[in-house]
Amino acid sequence: MYDFKGKVALVTGGTSGIGLEATKMLLKGGAEVLIVGVSENEGRQALMELEDWDQQLTLVTADISYPSECNRVVQTLLSEFGRLDILINCAGVFIEHTIDEVEEVVYDRIMDVNVKGTFFMCKYAIPQMRKAEGGAIINISSDAGLQGNYNCTTYCASKGAITLFTKALALDLARDNIRVNCVCPGEIHTPMVERKIEAAVKKGETKEVYLQALLKDYPIDRMGKAEEVAAVICFLASDMASFVLGASWSVDGGVTAGP
């Protein structure tokens, strides 16, 4: 277990999936955490799941695709906890389509959440980390931020942007003692993947056939677990990763290891 006593963390997308599992680990390590989610219903469910740590936890409902909302989230955290040490940008959207099928409204939504949201959460968090004389930022990219995936042009563009944004920001902030890294998960069993499966079934595929196609290139021959990604996130957030910055950590069962 990592030691986060005395630390304050902000987790976007913290009400489900990888973000929720990372929040649990932070809380177990003694951190105070503000989680952000766009769905009030998911937020209520998360608070019930995290009720053992309710004295360390605050929920904000916000749409981080709007920079003003990113600023509001950070200001709320400061009013609750007074400082910021760790930012984990887990909020993201995935929509599978060919470029012929992409409409501008869909393109904008993917880029606004995945790229703009991450960018502006960092922008408003960084001054507070400087005041705290250091911190850690972990962005969530994807295997799709390292290599091309079929029918994912917009999503790949957004996650590729996160991977290189992370490296550039790490260079800018190294002398401020703020470490910036990203994690690149493969297929992880989360609500996002469940929605992908549901969409495939609606198109006429069976769940079994879809999963077989989804996992055919995975040497480990299974889907990942959210807690497996969360463990890497929390390592990068911890003082144990003090010499790690600008890195892109693959947590993908080996899917990007080969040709």
User: With contact defined as beta carbons under 8 Å apart, do 11 and 26 qualify?
Assistant: yes
Catalytic residue among 66, 107, 124, 155: 155
The encoded tokens of residue 164 equal: 């290189």
Q: Which residues of 156-190 are buried (b: 16+ CB within 10 A; e: fewer)?
A: bbbbbbbbebbeebbeebeeeebbbbbbbbbbbeb
Nearest Cα neighbor of 25 from 40, 39, 7, 42 is 7
Q: Which residues share a beta bridge with 12? A: 36, 89
The encoded tokens of residue 115 equal: 């790229």
Active site residue 124: no
Nearest Cα neighbor of 160 from 149, 172, 171, 173 is 149
Query: Cα separations (Å) of 162 from 46, 151, 158, 187, 216?
Result: 26, 19, 7, 18, 26
Residue 62 falls in which region: left (phi positive, over 0), alpha (psi -120 to 50) or beta: beta
Q: Give phi and psi for 189, each to the nearest 5.
A: -70, 95
Q: Which residues share a beta bridge with 5? A: none
DSSP-based three-state secondary structure for 9: strand
The one-letter code for the residue type at 218 is: Y
Give the residue numbers marked as catalytic.
155
